[in-house]
Amino acid sequence: MPAKELSCPCMDCKDAETVFTVRKRQLCSDCYKHFIAFKVHRRMEMYRPGKTQEVRPKVLLPLSLGVSSSVLLSIVEAQLQYQLAKPYGKIFFDLHVLVIDPSSINPSSASIDENYKVLLETFQLPTYTRLSIHDIFDYVPNMKEIICEYAGSQFADDSSLSNEDRLSAFRASLSTATSAADLDYVLLTRLVAAVAQKNGCQSVFWGDSDSRLAARALAGVSKGRGASMTWQVSDGMSPWGVRFEFLLRDLYKTELLQYASVSPELSDIVISDPPLSDNVLTKNLSIDELMIRYVQNQGAKYPGIMSNVARTANKLESSCLDGGASCALCGGPRGNVKGNTGVTATTQSGDSEGSRFCYGCMRSRPGLKC
Amino acid sequence: MAPTTCFNCKEARAVIIRPKNRHKLCRACFIEVFETEVHETIIGTNLFFPGERIAIGASGGKDSTVLAAVLKTLNERYNYGLDLCLLSIDEGIRGYRDDSLETVKRNAVQYDMPLTIVGYGELYGWTMDQVVEQIGKKGNCTYCGVFRRQALDRGAARLDIQHVVTGHNADDVAETVMMNLLRGDLPRLSRGTSIVTASGGSDIKRSKPLKYAYEKEIVLYAHHRQLDYFTTECIYSPEAFRGSARTLVKDLEKIRPSSILDIVKSGEDMAALVPRDPAAAEEENTGGCGSQNGRTSGGEMAAMEKQLTENETAEAHETEIQLPQKNTKNTIKNPKAVKSQTLGHCERCGYISSQRVCKACTLLEGLNRNRPKTAIEVGMEDEEGSSTLMRQMERTQLTNS
Amino acid sequence: MAHSTNDGAAATISITVEFTGGLEILFSNERKHNITLPARLDDASQPTIAYLLQHLVDNLMKDDRKELFIMEDNVRPGILVLINDADWELEGEENYELQQGDNIVFVSTLHGG
């Protein structure tokens, strides 16, 4: 092949101009996408069919239409297409995609109708479900009772209202930004797990980037939810018998943004992130947002340390949690984790004992202004 | 605005809002509740036995002053039968330590407790003023921290006391949890929250009876009991206001005042989830000075980042070579994963150490050889000039787990 | 809008302000300060803690490191404010209207112990 005149050739194929530098490697856009996809494939290895495997597993991929989960879908779908294209090709697992309408969580979000249409046309291999957050009442039938018991006197449920209005009344009863963000995540996770169960999925592929996982770990720890990190940040079994896998845990948000920028098929699917509110006082932020900002700011200077956070949380052993009582709302462990007895922060706080809810959920319940 | 009445007695004017449950309490009820909670912690953890001799590590600052005052009160109120004394370290910093030692001397009179002062000068042959004269202001916190760690143990041993209590509070514990999460230190994550830390360096027991007490309440307790404490920043540590984990915890407290105890809760739970390594005994944290204990700084983070980047690069190369069919399990290599260490004794001073020569003696050797180690920059924001020694120091600190 | 009243314009209130917990180093190493403020501000409102903070930074603080005392136009996290010995959260925080003879204490919790 005649050598091209390249001012800065790609380190891998040596046949195209460098577009991005990733982890000290200068790559063209194809090799860049390859590099990123490889980091995801590596984590999908366990879904390679074994010899004895009889039933093809099914996987749920919750898609927010944000950059990260859209890139994940694009990589996973491409891998399945690749498997199909092989002679006698068979896919390793069936893929079901769940889109939860962002406008049902954040009313200021634009309609996703167009994006959804393009999505179905672009990625034809998976099956799809589109829901709103308040569909949780249909998927988790006792959720209404749980919420009423949880909210106590601060929230008067009105059964004549629609699911949508009942959920917004509950959310409105939460007194702080931290509690609201905390409960949104709890409800979203419950809905995703319930949809996975209903569709017979063994696993959920979450689209959280490394940066997002670091922020979640720091926020979870700050909200007294340290014990739930074993499935909120680590790969492992969730309380609902469905495995949670975080396939993007080796990738920074900036890398996913770059991937999307050279993936034209995503341009009409991805919705942009809601901008972080600027110029607000720290005390009005939610803990989740504080940590997203912290990871963003510190990550610019210390990306390695930030990825170390999620990596550290991923080393915790979820097996230690087996057998204990779990929270009716978030599914996390109640009381003390096995091995912790006597005087602990749980006994010191004094308000979560004897309740069906865990320490973290009790901290977010309506009316508690702290 | 009409004055709020106390949640407890429903009579007096409330003067404080408790961070952990937002209860509004009057002065008398607050002091009572604060003391009762420390008492419950002590009883619930079987921290002391009757007749036990206890040395209170006293710096003259708010935490150790409140600890001394509360322990004296509780010892008398509940007949613990403890023999309490004050143990202070004189780092030899003129203008800082002389003043705080005067405070400790007054405390000894106020609380009627014997006081022992152990000096760096007599223990190591170097005061901090002399260390700074030799190495400059940069990096001296490392020396001070390493020396102090042993000094409390050595002081206690001199008094034939087996149990030292320190003033570490819930904020300190929360900062340590966050910092260990940030630097990926699982072994410390598993130990940092426990109330008793058997000091790896000796058979002297260390404990922190105030581990559930919010710093805010400690300051208010000192204020409302008008305790005599000393509050000036160490003159060699002008950057002490900074510190990533500390700032983060203070921001969190602003958003949700209970979060400090919430972090302690998470820390305790995660500690129980850390995979057990039976041989994971080691020396305690050596970073920074007592007042900065558990606080991370820009220099430390920069050094760590550098190492992580090197790991990452190594990993990238490795995966490139082994590209096809690699087992997904453990593909993420962490060269700093838990390493167990065998503890021996320092061959110079006999202090328990995982190295042949303990850190204090290593530092002393450098000082005595009159070789300035200006490159040690722990505690400073400056990111330049990281030398081999600095990286070694950081590595020891990070991997020694 | 109320028309301006001239008779109160010259009136002042005196309060005491104390800095402890290490904050005194930012204020000429003096713990206790007597402060005189106008009883009414230009817009006829009473001076609040927020006004006092600005006044302290502009007039009393000799140290350049304003960020050690003020952050986001409020007291830096980790500094407690006591209004007549009560936590300022009980009194409306920075919106508390100062009264003649008030004692305001700023305590830093940020220093070692």
3-state secondary structure A276-344: CCCCCCHHHCCHHHHHHHHHHHHHHHCHHHHHHHHHHHCCCCHHHHCCCCECCCCCCECCCCCCCCCCC
C5 within domain boundaries: no
Give the gap in angstroms from C-alpha C13 to the nearest C-alpha of chain A.
31
DSSP string, C2-70: PPP-STTTT-EEEEEEEEETTGGGGTTT-SEEEEEEESS-TTSPPPBHHHHHHHIIIII--SS-GGGTE
Cβ contact C85–B224 (<8 Å): yes
- Residue C72 forms contact with A (CB below 8 Å): yes
- The HSE-up count of residue A293 (CA atoms within 13 Å, CB side) is 17
Residue A197 pLDDT: 96
Cβ contact B272–A339 (<8 Å): yes
Q: Which two tokens stand for residue A43?
A: 């984590």
Q: Name the CA dihedral angle for A316, A320, A322, A327, rounded to a multiple of 10 degrees.
A: -60
* Residue B319 scores a pLDDT above 60: no
Contacts of B313 in chain A (CB under 8 A): 23-24
Total Cβ atoms within 10 A of residue B160: 7
- Residue A292 forms contact with B (CB below 8 Å): no
Residue B299 pLDDT: 61
Domains and CATH numbers, chain A: 56-319 (3.40.50.620)
Confidence grade of residue B384 (pLDDT, cut at 50, 70, 90): very low
**Alpha-carbon span A211 to A200, nearest angstrom:** 30
Buried-exposed string A312-326: b where 16+ CB fall within 10 A, e elsewhere: bbbbbebebbeeeeb
Strand partners of residue B207: B165, B196
* Residue A257 scores a pLDDT above 50: yes
- Residue B371 forms contact with A (CB below 8 Å): no
- Residue B93 forms contact with C (CB below 8 Å): no
Instruction: Pick B61's closest partner by Cβ from C24, C86, C111.
Output: C111
Confidence grade of residue B82 (pLDDT, cut at 50, 70, 90): very high
The A residues from 149 to 208 touching B (CB cutoff 8 Å) are 176, 178
Instruction: Among A44-58, B112-126, B387-401, C72-86, name the one with the lowest average pLDDT.
Output: B387-401
Contacts of A181 in chain B (CB under 8 A): none
- Contact (Cβ atoms closer than 8 angstroms) between residue A366 and residue A154: yes
Residue A117 pLDDT: 96
Task: Using alpha carbons, list the distances in angstroms from residue B81 to B47, B53, B68.
Answer: 13, 9, 15
* Residue B321 scores a pLDDT above 60: no
Residue A320 pLDDT: 58
Cβ contact B219–C82 (<8 Å): no
Which residues lie below 8 Å from residue A347, measured CB to CB, with a gap of 6+? Answer: A353, B44
**Alpha-carbon span A246 to A9, nearest angstrom:** 33
For chains A and B, CB pairs below 8 A equal: 192
Chain C interface, best mutation among B241, B242, B251, B291, by max C CB count within 10 A: B241
DSSP 8-state code for residue B288: S
Which residues lie below 8 Å from residue B130, measured CB to CB, with a gap of 6+? Answer: B92
Q: Which residue on chain B is closest to C91 by alpha carbon?
A: B1
- Residue C64 forms contact with A (CB below 8 Å): no
pLDDT digits (tens, 9 = 90+) for B133-156: 888 777 777 777 788 878 888 899
Contacts of C80 in chain B (CB under 8 A): 216, 219-220
With an 8 Å Cβ cutoff, the interface of chain A facing chain C consists of: 281-282
**Alpha-carbon span B306 to A303, nearest angstrom:** 10
**Alpha-carbon span B2 to C15, nearest angstrom:** 20
* Residue A271 scores a pLDDT above 90: yes
**Alpha-carbon span B135 to B148, nearest angstrom:** 18
Instruction: Among A62-71, B219-228, B378-387, name the one with the lowest average pLDDT.
Output: B378-387
Task: Using alpha carbons, list the distances in angstroms from residue C47 to A250, B158, C11.
Answer: 54, 58, 12
Contacts of B218 in chain C (CB under 8 A): 109, 113
Buried-exposed string B182-208: b where 16+ CB fall within 10 A, e elsewhere: bbbbbbbbbbbbbbebebbbbebbbbb
Q: What is the mean pLDDT of chain C?
A: 86
Instruction: Pick A309's closest partner by Cβ from B40, B181, B312.
Output: B181
- Contact (Cβ atoms closer than 8 angstroms) between residue B308 and residue B334: no
Q: For chain B, which chains pass the contact test of at least 3 CB pairs under 8 Å? A: A, C
Cβ contact C109–B215 (<8 Å): yes
- Contact (Cβ atoms closer than 8 angstroms) between residue A267 and residue A198: no
Residues listed for chain B: 401
Pure H helices in B45-160: 62-77, 97-110, 120-124, 128-135, 140-158
**Alpha-carbon span B136 to B132, nearest angstrom:** 5
**Alpha-carbon span A178 to A94, nearest angstrom:** 37
**Alpha-carbon span C21 to B390, nearest angstrom:** 33
- Residue B251 forms contact with C (CB below 8 Å): yes
Query: Looking at per-residue confidence, does B230 or A147 come out higher?
Result: A147
What average pLDDT score do residues A263-271 get? 95
Q: Which two tokens stand for residue A285?
A: 């932020």
Residue B288 pLDDT: 43
Confidence grade of residue A242 (pLDDT, cut at 50, 70, 90): very high
**Alpha-carbon span A283 to A281, nearest angstrom:** 5
**Alpha-carbon span B281 to B289, nearest angstrom:** 22
What average pLDDT score do residues A1-9 get? 71
**Alpha-carbon span A87 to B71, nearest angstrom:** 77
**Alpha-carbon span A114 to B101, nearest angstrom:** 72
Look-up of token digits 């996987």 = A59
- Of C60, C68, C62, the closest CA to residue C23 belongs to C68
Cβ contact A281–C72 (<8 Å): yes
Domains and CATH numbers, chain B: 29-233+242-272+286-297 (3.40.50.620)
Instruction: Among A340-344, B154-158, C9-13, C44-48, name the one with the lowest average pLDDT.
Output: A340-344
Buried-exposed string B91-127: b where 16+ CB fall within 10 A, e elsewhere: bbbeebbeebbebbbebbeebebebbbbbbeebbebb
| Number of domains chain C is built from | 1
Q: Which two tokens stand for residue C5?
A: 């009243």
Residue A349 pLDDT: 67
> Is residue A54 helix, strand or coil?
coil
Give the gap in angstroms from C-alpha A225 to the nearest C-alpha of chain B.
6
Chain B interface, best mutation among A13, A178, A312, by max B CB count within 10 A: A312
Cβ contact B266–A224 (<8 Å): yes
pLDDT digits (tens, 9 = 90+) for B231-243: 765 555 544 334 6
Total Cβ atoms within 10 A of residue B138: 20
- Contact (Cβ atoms closer than 8 angstroms) between residue A222 and residue B252: yes
DSSP 8-state code for residue B382: -
- Contact (Cβ atoms closer than 8 angstroms) between residue B65 and residue B92: no
Q: What is the mean pLDDT of chain B?
A: 76
Give the gap in angstroms from C-alpha A370 to the nearest C-alpha of chain C.
13
Chain B interface, best mutation among A248, A315, A364, by max B CB count within 10 A: A315
The A residues from 60 to 79 touching B (CB cutoff 8 Å) are none
The H or E element containing residue B118 is: strand B115-119
Q: Which two tokens stand for residue B126?
A: 């170097």
The crossing angle, in degrees rounded to 10, of helices B62-77 and B97-110 is 10
Confidence grade of residue B343 (pLDDT, cut at 50, 70, 90): low
What average pLDDT score do residues C89-107 get? 94
For chains A and C, CB pairs below 8 A equal: 4
The crossing angle, in degrees rounded to 10, of helices A177-198 and A287-301 is 90
Q: What is the mean pLDDT of chain A?
A: 88
The crossing angle, in degrees rounded to 10, of helices B259-273 and B244-255 is 120
C2 within domain boundaries: no
- Residue B18 forms contact with C (CB below 8 Å): no
The A residues from 80 to 139 touching B (CB cutoff 8 Å) are none
- Of B150, B177, B148, the closest CA to residue B295 belongs to B177
Chain A interface, best mutation among C67, C70, C71, C72, by max A CB count within 10 A: C72
Look-up of token digits 């984790």 = A337
Residue B387 pLDDT: 29
Amino acid (one-letter) located at C23: L
The B residues from 34 to 73 touching A (CB cutoff 8 Å) are 37, 40-41, 44-45
Domain span at C25: 12-108
pLDDT digits (tens, 9 = 90+) for B275-307: 876 444 344 443 444 444 334 445 666 777 777
Instruction: Pick C86's closest partner by Cβ from B15, B64, B233.
Output: B15
Instruction: Among B96-100, B252-256, C24-28, name the one with the lowest average pLDDT.
Output: B96-100
Contacts of B290 in chain C (CB under 8 A): 112
Chain B interface, best mutation among C27, C76, C105, C109, by max B CB count within 10 A: C109
- Contact (Cβ atoms closer than 8 angstroms) between residue C47 and residue C98: yes
- The HSE-up count of residue A217 (CA atoms within 13 Å, CB side) is 34
What average pLDDT score do residues A109-130 get? 94
CATH code, domain carrying C92? 3.10.20.30
Cβ contact C92–B4 (<8 Å): no
- Residue B276 forms contact with C (CB below 8 Å): no
Q: Which two tokens stand for residue B118?
A: 């152990």
Amino acid (one-letter) located at C83: I
Cβ contact B301–A302 (<8 Å): yes
Cβ contact B224–C110 (<8 Å): no
Cβ contact A221–B184 (<8 Å): no
Torsions phi, psi for B66 (to 5 deg): -65, -40
Cβ contact B220–C89 (<8 Å): no
What average pLDDT score do residues B209-228 get? 94
Residue B29 pLDDT: 97
Q: Which residue on chain B is closest to C26 by alpha carbon?
A: B232
Give the gap in angstroms from C-alpha A281 to the nearest C-alpha of chain C.
7
ipTM of the complex: 0.92
The crossing angle, in degrees rounded to 10, of helices A287-301 and A210-222 is 130
**Alpha-carbon span A76 to A33, nearest angstrom:** 13
C3 within domain boundaries: no
Residue B386 pLDDT: 26
C4 within domain boundaries: no
Phi-psi region at A241: left, alpha or beta (left = phi > 0; alpha = psi -120 to 50): left
Confidence grade of residue B356 (pLDDT, cut at 50, 70, 90): confident
- Of A151, A190, A156, A157, the closest CA to residue A174 belongs to A151
Contacts of C87 in chain B (CB under 8 A): 15-17, 220
pLDDT digits (tens, 9 = 90+) for B166-209: 999 999 899 989 988 988 888 888 877 888 876 555 678 999 99
Indicate the burial class of C38 (C-beta count within 10 angstroms; 0-12, 13-18, 19 or more): middle
Cβ contact B44–A43 (<8 Å): no
Give the gap in angstroms from C-alpha A276 to the nearest C-alpha of chain C.
17
Query: Looking at per-residue confidence, does A81 or B192 come out higher?
Result: A81
Cβ contact A317–B275 (<8 Å): yes
Residue A325 pLDDT: 84
Look-up of token digits 């069906």 = A356
CA A333 to chain centre: 20
- Residue C94 forms contact with A (CB below 8 Å): no
Residue A25 pLDDT: 86
Residues listed for chain A: 370
Task: Using alpha carbons, list the distances in angstroms from residue B40 to A345, A347, B37, B171, B375.
Answer: 12, 10, 5, 19, 46
Instruction: Pick B263's closest partner by Cβ from A178, A222, A283.
Output: A222
